[in-house]
Structures are given as structure tokens and as C-alpha cells.
Structure 1
Amino acid sequence: MSEYIVIGAGLAGAATAWALTARGENVTVLERHTPANARGSSHGSARIFRYAYPDRLYTELVLRARSLWDEVERVSETTVISPTGALDHGEARHMTRLIDVFDKVGVDHEVLSASAAQGRWPQFTFDSEVLWHPDAGVIDSELAVTTMLDLALRSGRARILQNWEATSVARQAGGGLKVTSAMGEVVEGSRVIVAAGGWLPALLTSIELPIGFLASLPKFEVRQEQAFHMPYRDVNEYGQLARAWPTFIHKSNELSAYGLPGGRDVDYRGQKLAQFNGGRVLGSALDQDGCITSEMRARMVEYANRYLPGLIPEPYAETTCLFTNTPTEDFVIDEADGIVVVSACSGHGAKFAPLLGEFAADLATGSGTAPDQFHAKC
């Protein structure tokens, strides 16, 4: 009998499996499809790694997560984060608070006027002062998942069951827990970590958690986000860029947008753009259709025309991705009676993945806890 069962093989689940096996624990990972598959939140080669948060807690946690990413890269001999630097701008971006947090925590940064930033990054158009922090980058999300799972498997203490759809978590009369699949298969263990992403809202109804704990969880909102890859203009005959592209977050009173270099799965030849929380609200991940709307495509083309003169405003690739949001955009990482719920959500969890795995492992083994801000509000 495996000691620990992890439901979900996205970033949070893979990180939890690695953290537990690194502590000498046995782990079974249950994945309804395949690790980092396109129906979830961890697929593809491009997620933003940044330090800019108006909440000091999150910036401090990014610093801790970066050390763990360094360890992942060291022991696996694999690069999962590529440095790009990051730009933040827009009148709704809380610039004063971001700068204050950077000053207090000690994150390297620079503040530029819109005109000065325009001179340095002519591929952008800025509508406010600009915050630059050079240590940001891009996470290859799918590679990060497979790397952490490989590390767990390498320990000899993990197994991964793919195409295994968990439908319930129940308590056994003699102690311990059992997870049942849609096909009637059963996996037993003493602790269960639920890292099911967009499938969490539907799965929660079939998990034997205390009523009070369930009632204290925030309302989860699953969105089917849409992202568009647009090609760079300044490319020579050898496909080389004339200038490097950073990641960016732009929050105006009209639109919250973000962008980053698209990575290997779109041939490195364009910037990935999306409106933050602009997608359709779903009941759960079960309701996704993977469709791109003409309205959102037109909105992002218009955005590129207005703010990104360095791009050809014609998408050459498009994709959808699930965001599982809480009302405060905080994570939920808490435990009740041997079941740990990990919702590394609201569209900004990727950068924290190995640290979230540590928190989940701490809760599951009883050796530690997660920040109070991530606890269910009992």
C-alpha cells in the first residue's frame, strides 16, 4: 500500500510527488489523462516567472521557490527557467506597492519613465512609468512537470498511473483512505493530496472531508482562458531576433493583459498574449471545449496594434488553458483528517510549484504547515 496518494500530475502534483519521495516516502500519482496534458493548467512551454507582487508574502515566497527551482535544475541537469526580465506598467498595476515590496525584500529593479522605457524597448508602447526587474523569466511548464516526476520516479519510491480518473476519496473502516476510479479501480493509502486543478470543484463533492472544512473553502471559479501567439517583426533571414523580448504585465483601467516569449512549442518565434481572466467561466474542467472566440481574438489583435508595435498582429498559434480562481486570488493549501487540498490557482501558481509541493508534503506528513493566508477560513 502506497503511503501517499497524489491526485493530479500537473505542476502542483508533480512537485508534491518529488517533495515526498525526496523525504523517503512512497507515492502513487493518479492522473486522469497524462502529465501536463492540454486539458489542464500546466501544459505548454511558457509560464511567467516573476517577483512583482503588491503583497510582500508572495514576493518572499517567489524567492524561496527560486531556490527550489535551482535545486530541480541542479539535480536533474535540466534548465526549466529561461531568464528574460519582466516589465510592469499601467495605471492599475499598483506600481507604488510593487516598488515598495521590492525595496523591502531586496529584489533588483529599476523604475523608468514611459519615454525612457520606450527608448530601451521600442517594441512596446507604454502608458505609464515602467518597473523592470531583470531576474524574471519564463518557465517551461511541461518540462518542469516531467522533470519533477522523473526525479520522483528516479527515487524508486513513486509510481504514476495515467488515464486513471479519480472519482471519490473515502475513509476505510480499518483506517486509511481509498481512491476509486471511474472504472472501479481502487488505490489505498494513509494520506491523499488533491491537486486536481480545474477538476477540483467537481471532485470535492465526492471526497469525505469534514463538513465544516468544506464549508470554509472559498468558491472556486474555473475559467477557460485563451492565449494568442503573434510573430516578432524584427527577425533576420536566419530567424534571429534583433532584440530580446521580456515578459510583461500591463494593467490599465480597460484591460489586464500579459505576455511572454512563447517557447519551444511555438518555435520560439512569437510572443504569447492573453487577457488575464478574460475567458469563459465553466462549472468545472469537465465543461471545457477548447474553443477560441472571434471576440477575444479581435480584442488581442487590437491590443497588439496599440501596445506592441514589435509584433505582427496576426496570431500564428492559439491555445486555451484553465485558470482555477479564488475570490482573493490566494491559493488554498490546507489539510483535514489526512486529506490535503492544494489549489495552486488563480493563474499565477506555476512559479511557486516546488514550494507548493513542499507545503503539501509538510501538511501530509505533519512536519509543517502552509502560510495562514492559504488555509481554509474555518
Structure 2
Amino acid sequence: MAENDPVVIIGAGLAGAGAAWALTRRGLPVVVAEQFPLGHLRGSSHGSARIVRRGYGDGLYVSLTGRAFELWRELELASGTAILRMLGSLDFGVRRNVPKMARLLADAGVRHEVLPPAEAAARWPGMVFEGEVLFHEQAGTMDAAGAVAALLAQAAAAGAQVLPSTEIVAVADAGRRVILGDGGSVSARCTVVAAGGWIGPLLSGVVTLPPLRVTEQQLFHFPRRDPGGPAWPSVIHDRDAHAVYHLAGGRDGGPHDDRKIGEHDGGHPTTAAEPDGVVDPASRERVVAYVQRWLPGLEPALRTEGTCLYTETPSEDFVLDRVDDLVVCSPCSGHGAKFAPVIGEMVADLVTGADSSVPERFRLASHLSGRTASVSL
């Protein structure tokens, strides 16, 4: 390893782009290699609408969301790009521990309200609620594609080399060299693998990873009955085996900002290399029935549908750790997008050796110990 060797980041999605921004802000040379064209639709970082929020049933993530919001605002100011859309967030349902979530928000100094279902329905006409409803304002949506573009642009302006359509097929020499698809290689002071659903195959035989389950998730868009009405908050309704989330669709929702709806637990197993792109008819049927029952403010006729990838650990915690000169970066399990810039900071700490910011729960040893208690999303 030469002193001027770059940090090589494999993957230019939200995690890799966040790492590139953080590392260049510390003055390190960076090369970002992405196997597909930038802005591709093959992974987990495309689209214009992802939920951002402070509300979790887990104090660790409540804390991390606070830092993430600070960094998102820094990125918006630095890039002149609007990334966040602050619409608030609603949580309810028989499996949603509203009292605990409210207590954690209070501990973090986050303004919130707990409302009876009738009051929530009066405040947000077109939605039906059950049980106590938690509302907090520091939440809304994040433009994932816009965020990736802004992060990479800021990194490139600071000297990072971004290489689209550049496949890396192997990591060698304990992270100090990467092998390109054309047979060439690049020396690295450290390699960061932020390859989403490809991380398992890429690191097979290099690092022992926890079980990583790649699933193809279904996404549905429904039009509002009042397309000119006020935007609704983001919603997580945890009611049975398939927790439902929905949010303002942004550009993905078309000219009228149609509602994006999905089931957090409703995906089917696949591989990152070979998703079939086929929407599960059973998921479609459940979501249409959900709209008819819980969202009378939407037309129950689908406007569009599609798929995306989750890469999940058994505990739904992220995987962030360093082995020799290799950093494993898998902020996954369907809830990592909102954390991209703070994940980048943790990666930079791992690369530079200032790794105290990485929670023990994210370390490989914790995952490999068999911990399977699920994050309270």
C-alpha cells in the first residue's frame, strides 16, 4: 500500500455515495466504482421518495436519525439541492408500541403528539386509524436519487474519482487491491464494500458475513381523490404480518404526487443479479384491500407498480465493520436510506481508525454471535 493510494468504494448507491462525501471531507483520495451507469434502477437507491423520520422503537436509531438530519441539511446547503420534504410522520397499529416510541422521542427532545384515532382522522381526512396515533414533525420524505447525485457531486468536487459502468469482481490482498471485470486491478489503502445485494457474493470467501437475505419488494402508487389537497404525512401502520408504509410519491408519483404504498415484510427471495421484476399478485391484492379499508382518500385503482431490492440481516441492524484493510458497509434491511450521510461518517471513522462511532450492534462479531432480536422499526 502506497501513501497516495486511494480509498476504493465499491458501489455508488446511497451508502457508497455517503461514504465518498465523508471521506473527501476528511481530505482522503477516493475512487468510487459502480458496476452500472449512475442513477440505475437495479439496486436500492433510486426513486424520489423514501421515508425519513425520528420515530423508532429503538433508542439507538432515534439518536442516529438526529445526526442524519443534521448532515442532510449540510448537504442541501452545500449542494443547493432540495433533498428533504418535511411533511411529518404518523405511527400506529396493534404492533406499533406508540407509548415507547413517544417516550424515546421525548428523551431525544423531539416534539410529538399522541392522538386518539378520531382526532387523527379529523386532522388528516382520507385516512382511517386504529388505537393511539403518534405524530411528529421532524419527518417526511427524502429524494433518494437526488441525494445520491448530490453526494457524488460534492465528493467529485473535492477530488473523488467516480467511475460508472466499472465492474469490480473481487477484493484481494485483505482489501488493498480490487480486481476489475476487464482483468485489471487498482491498489487501495482501504476498500469499502457498499454493494447492496451484491455484497454477499463479492465477499464470499473473503470475510465471514451474517446471513444476508435479498428480497424483491413490491411498490404501488395510488392516486389521491383530491390531487390538489394538502400532502399527507408519511405513515407506518404496523398491524399484522405485513407492516404497511405509505408516503407522498414525489416524482415517482407523477404530476399529482400520488401515494406510494408498500409492505415492509412483503418481499420474495431473489438475488441482486437476477430479480424477476414481477410484482407478487398476493401483495397487490393485499395492498388494494388495504387502500379500500384504511385509505378512503385514495382511488383504489392502481396507477403504477414496480419492485426494488432489500438486503436484510436477521436482526435488521446494519453491518458496519473493518477487517484488515476492508470495510464492510451494509446499512440495509429496508430502513437504511435515511441514514446515508451518518453511515458515511461511520465508514470514514473505520477507514481512518477513529472507529468509536460505530455501535457494537453493527459489528460483525455481534451479528455472528447469533443475535436475532429485530429492530423495532
Which bracket does the TM-score occupy, shorter chain normalised? over 0.9
| SS of alignment partner, residue 222 of structure 1 | strand
Structure 2 CA distance, aligned partners of 1:185 and 1:263? 41
Conservation of the 8 A alpha-carbon contact between 1:2 and 1:28: no
Structure 2 CA distance, aligned partners of 1:185 and 1:231? 49
Q: Is 1:245 matched with 2:237?
A: no
Give 1:354 shift: 0.2
Counterpart pick for 1:37 among 37, 40, 56: 40
Q: Is 1:230 matched with 2:233?
A: no
Counterpart pick for 1:168 among 158, 167, 170: 170
Q: Indicate the residue corresponding to 1:48 in structure 2.
A: 51
Structure 2 CA distance, aligned partners of 1:191 and 1:254? 41
Give 1:95 shift: 1.2
Give 1:316 shift: 1.1
Q: Is 1:325 matched with 2:312?
A: yes
Instruction: Give the letter aligned to residue 166 of structure 2.
Output: W
Q: Is 1:340 matched with 2:327?
A: yes
Structure 2 CA distance, aligned partners of 1:328 and 1:262? 28
Q: Indicate the residue corresponding to 2:188 in structure 1.
A: 189
Count of paired positions: 361
Q: What whole-Å deviation, never above 9, does each CA across 1:239-282 have from its counterpart, x for those lacking one?
A: xx222211000011253100011111332431100011211112
Instruction: Give the letter aligned to residue 87 of structure 1.
Output: L
Structure 1 residue runs of 5 or longer lacking an equivalent are 236-240
Instruction: Give the letter aligned to residue 187 of structure 1.
Output: V
| SS of alignment partner, residue 364 of structure 2 | coil
Structure 1 CA distance, aligned partners of 2:8 and 2:283? 39
Conservation of the 8 A alpha-carbon contact between 2:231 and 2:248: no
Conservation of the 8 A alpha-carbon contact between 2:242 and 2:266: no
Counterpart pick for 1:9 among 12, 16, 35: 12
Counterpart pick for 2:147 among 144, 149, 166: 144
Counterpart pick for 2:126 among 118, 123, 126: 123
Counterpart pick for 1:220 among 186, 189, 212: 212
Q: Indicate the residue corresponding to 1:199 in structure 2.
A: 198
Structure 2 CA distance, aligned partners of 1:279 and 1:79? 30
Structure 1 CA distance, aligned partners of 2:332 and 2:241? 24
Q: How does 1:351-370 map to 2 (within 5 A)?
A: 351-369=338-356, 370=358
* TM-score calculated relative to the size of structure 1: 0.93
Conservation of the 8 A alpha-carbon contact between 2:253 and 2:260: no
| SS of alignment partner, residue 322 of structure 2 | strand
Counterpart pick for 1:23 among 10, 22, 26: 26
Conservation of the 8 A alpha-carbon contact between 2:47 and 2:145: yes
Structure 1 CA distance, aligned partners of 2:342 and 2:63? 11
Q: Indicate the residue corresponding to 1:375 in structure 2.
A: 363
Structure 2 CA distance, aligned partners of 1:331 and 1:343? 6
Give 1:105 shift: 1.1
- Percent of aligned pairs with the same residue? 43
Counterpart pick for 1:306 among 283, 293, 300: 293
* TM-score calculated relative to the size of structure 2: 0.93
- RMSD value over aligned CA atoms? 1.4
Structure 2 residue runs of 5 or longer lacking an equivalent are 369-377
| SS of alignment partner, residue 287 of structure 1 | coil
Counterpart pick for 2:257 among 269, 277, 282: 269
Instruction: Give the letter aligned to residue 332 of structure 1.
Output: V
Does the C-alpha gap of structure 1 residues 291 and 96 become closer, same or farther in structure 2, counting only changes over 3 Å? Answer: same
Structure 1 CA distance, aligned partners of 2:230 and 2:82? 22
Give 1:303 shift: 0.7
Instruction: Give the letter aligned to residue 347 of structure 2.
Output: A
